[in-house]
Structure 1
Amino acid sequence: MGECVRVWVDISGSQSRAFALPARLLQTALLLQLPSRNTFPQMAACRRVQLLLLLMSVLISSSVCRDNGNLLGAGNSLQNPIQGGGPIGGNMAPAAAASQPRRATGWKLAEEEACREDLTRLCPKHTWSNNLAVLECLQDKKEDIQIEALLIRACEPVIQAYCHEVADNQIDTGDLMECLVHNKHQKEMNEKCAVGVTHFQLIQMKDFRFSYKFKMACKEDVLKLCPNIKRKVDVVICLSTTVRNDTLQEVKEQRVSLKCRKQLRVEELEMSEDIRLQPELYESCKQDIGNHCRNVAFGNAQVIECLKENKKQLLPRCHQRVFKLQETEMMDPELDYTLMRVCKQMIKRFCTEADAKYMLQCLKQNKNSEMMDPKCKQMITKRQITQNTEIAAVCGGGSSAGAGRPS
């Protein structure tokens, strides 16, 4: 591991700890700068990044960095060399070392007063006993907060136009991000903001707990119905399947709580807007996207629509996924992002009282109205052709040409 040096780390302003580290690891640890108190006030007190990286280095180097046979690590509470002690890397007087109290070898970062508030607010309780788990949790949260700060700057025009009320909240409850996602295609949305919002959505897909509103609305349901599932898309599928099964079986009491079902619908609608938010579909269709939709931009469900239009040319794996998606949309037209976007005003005009699952049926009934928007009418016809074709394919009867003609 190379030469070892002794390092002093300021933890709470009045207390320091000594660490014996390999010099190479120390250089790596110090490359990462801590955010300033003014930039991220909610995490400045913990001063965690350098401390945690140093702590990780202590654990890695425990077999090589020893002072007369004893590891000098986080168990020592010592005088700060800046306040009169020896220089960094210098030798500590034996008398001074002997006079300092030693903690038990099982020291935990969660026990530090400066970090306790951050851990309580940001990290699951089961991580507190594991210093490396705490490191991972806080590092993830640091990345989220940094992204959020950049987003606020990039998205100022949209925030001022549509989200100023939720942006003024002192406590972030996820409303601002939800508002930005909802208004991602407004004229005030610039490219930096749109890219940032989508990137934030992709990060949230890694773990449902990164989505504050979803986590708060559904955490009990997830623990009960979808234990050991972390990826957001898998949690959404698990809960949605439960809701669908309970609805089909007409159970007296739904297993998924009402507040979770409401937020689940928000998550499903958000995921339908960009194929990258549906990892299985995206991975299955990457080659076909390159072959048939190379010049189609992500977002606004444009790539998904492109795949639908080229379904006959798709590879089997992608074709199967797209077919399944269309089946889902037929049962629940509200998840058909393109239909809902193109026909938004017509839905307000003709179908305000219609149940979501009968939305397409309502639009079909009003398709030939003189007040029907031509673009919406064209989209309804496309969906009718798809619906009739899929029904014919499933039932195995009639020619596809005849079955595909809408009434």
Structure 2
Amino acid sequence: MQITLGLLSLKRENIDFDPTLKRVCLPDITKYCPHVEQGNAQVLECLQTVRDKLSPLCEQKVFKVKRQEVYDNSIDYALITMCADAIEQFCAHHDRETILDCLKVNKDQKGFSKKCRSIVIHRMIEQNSNYQLNPSLQENCKMDINKFCSNVINTNHGKDLNEAVFKCLKGSFKKGVLSHKCENEMVSMLREQALDVSLNPLIRVVCKNELETICKLSDEDSGKTEECLKNALLENRIMTPVCKVEVANMIEESQADIHVDPLLQQVCALDLLKFCKDVPQGNGRHIKCLRISMDNHQLSPECGEMLTKRLRMYENAALVAPPPGDFHELYHQVVASPAKHYFFLMFLMMFGSIFVVGILFGRAFRRQMTLKNK
């Protein structure tokens, strides 16, 4: 076993020790990584950063290598090597196979090396870009993906598949229909993305213009960039249509669970503890609780001010976000709506009217047939 792991690690360290990978990917290496030196897994890291541009055979090979690494971090040569000091300091007693989990938790600690944090962030971006490279998501959301996303899996492939599955899970999260395990997994992922927009691959692509002009990325994000994008949408300063939609979706996701809005949660921490400590997490319950407390003039001024702004954001996002795509989605949005009783009453009235008209028409038709037979 040790010999096998040692060989795998050696192949990662220097691509020359993996002749099949080198042969299949040589044109891509020449094109995208011509000046990258051998050793320290630099060539493999380079290929992973341009996965979307690789030839199909090379992409498949790199994906296979990456999949092995995410399920056994001990053979991730770049991670283990560049994070040796951080592992010793923060994760000395953690299992090497899942060492990335420990590094992710400690990446913002004082004394955590910058070079290790950089590769940990890179690994997190990979996991947020490809659900098949996210072991925790696979484990906790497998049933939910099969239940809610089977249609998108059957109709999408490659990069489009990953984007579609993440969108599907986020949509199901907003509706509050995910299992408890999957919901917690999504909260963790979305909270990380809220605190650091660089971990949100979709926003980085569709809001590229806005992130270069209005809300520039910084190493010390702490939720400032996402807050900037939210404010920009509210103030109608986002010009890119797809960026508008994704920022609106981001706002609606934070409405579903306050833990996905770390800035609001931080400002309203004492109010949540005082008025909402027994309120279950998810499905917008904490926001509703805070709103009731605000209507009763109980909130602290800081929390009340930020919540008022958030309510305006929710209202604005609802106008920007796309409407439900099918009956199943429409049903869940109606169920989650505060006016759901009104919708159901209108449906019953409409159904009742059709039923009564059907009875009257049937009687008239039978009467007419009877007269004809006479």
Alignment TM class, shorter chain as reference: 0.5 to 0.7
What is the aligned partner in structure 2 of residue 379 from structure 1? 306
What is the aligned partner in structure 2 of residue 207 from structure 1? 130
What is the aligned partner in structure 2 of residue 347 from structure 1? 272
Return the offset for 1:191. 4.0
C-alpha distance in 1 between matches for 2:143 and 2:315: 40
Aligned residue-pair number: 271
Which blocks of at least 5 consecutive residues in structure 1 are unaligned? 1-11, 13-36, 61-129, 248-255, 395-407
Root-mean-square deviation (CA, aligned residues, Å) is 4.4
Does structure 1 retain, via aligned residues, the 8 Å contact 2:173–2:186?
no
Q: Considering fraction of residues, name the structure with more helix.
A: 2
SS at match of 2:306: helix
What is the aligned partner in structure 1 of residue 225 from structure 2? 303
Does structure 2 retain, via aligned residues, the 8 Å contact 1:233–1:278?
no
Does structure 1 retain, via aligned residues, the 8 Å contact 2:187–2:260?
no
Does structure 1 retain, via aligned residues, the 8 Å contact 2:196–2:223?
yes
User: What letter corresponds to residue 259 of structure 2 in structure 1?
Assistant: E
- The structure, 1 or 2, with the larger RCO (C-alpha pairs under 8 Å, 6+ apart) is 2
Return the offset for 1:372. 6.0
Return the offset for 1:313. 1.7
SS at match of 2:122: helix
Distance 1:141 1:330, change over 3 A: same
C-alpha distance in 2 between matches for 1:343 and 1:156: 35
Does structure 1 retain, via aligned residues, the 8 Å contact 2:128–2:200?
no
Does structure 1 retain, via aligned residues, the 8 Å contact 2:79–2:120?
no
Return the offset for 1:306. 0.9
What is the aligned partner in structure 1 of residue 97 from structure 2? 172
Q: Deviations over 1:276-312 (max 9, x none)?
A: 3333322222212222223755632211111222232
2:64 to 137, 151, 154: 137
C-alpha distance in 1 between matches for 2:145 and 2:171: 13
What is the aligned partner in structure 1 of residue 19 from structure 2? 53
Distance 1:45 1:243, change over 3 A: same
Distance 1:197 1:344, change over 3 A: farther
1:293 to 210, 215, 234: 215
C-alpha distance in 1 between matches for 2:319 and 2:24: 66
2:292 is aligned with 1:330: no
Return the offset for 1:315. 0.5
What is the aligned partner in structure 2 of residue 241 from structure 1? 171
What is the aligned partner in structure 1 of residue 340 from structure 2? none
TM-score in terms of structure 2 length: 0.56
Return the offset for 1:327. 3.1
Return the offset for 1:358. 1.8
C-alpha distance in 2 between matches for 1:278 and 1:268: 8
What is the aligned partner in structure 2 of residue 360 from structure 1? 287
What is the aligned partner in structure 1 of residue 238 from structure 2? 314
C-alpha distance in 2 between matches for 1:279 and 1:182: 20
Does structure 2 retain, via aligned residues, the 8 Å contact 1:222–1:235?
yes
Q: Deviations over 1:148-189 (max 9, x none)?
A: 3146435359x63xxx5xx5243634xx53454445444555
Return the offset for 1:201. 0.9
TM-score in terms of structure 1 length: 0.52
Distance 1:42 1:56, change over 3 A: closer
Q: Deviations over 1:322-362 (max 9, x none)?
A: 23332333344432232234434543443222233121232
Return the offset for 1:366. 4.2
What is the aligned partner in structure 1 of residue 79 from structure 2? 148
Distance 1:188 1:219, change over 3 A: same
C-alpha distance in 1 between matches for 2:23 and 2:199: 36
Does structure 1 retain, via aligned residues, the 8 Å contact 2:275–2:290?
yes
What is the aligned partner in structure 2 of residue 126 from structure 1? none
Return the offset for 1:374. 5.7
Does structure 2 retain, via aligned residues, the 8 Å contact 1:221–1:260?
yes
What is the aligned partner in structure 2 of residue 278 from structure 1? 200
Does structure 1 retain, via aligned residues, the 8 Å contact 2:173–2:256?
no
Which range moves more in the overlay, 179-188 or 309-318?
179-188
Which blocks of at least 5 consecutive residues in structure 2 are unaligned? 27-56, 322-374
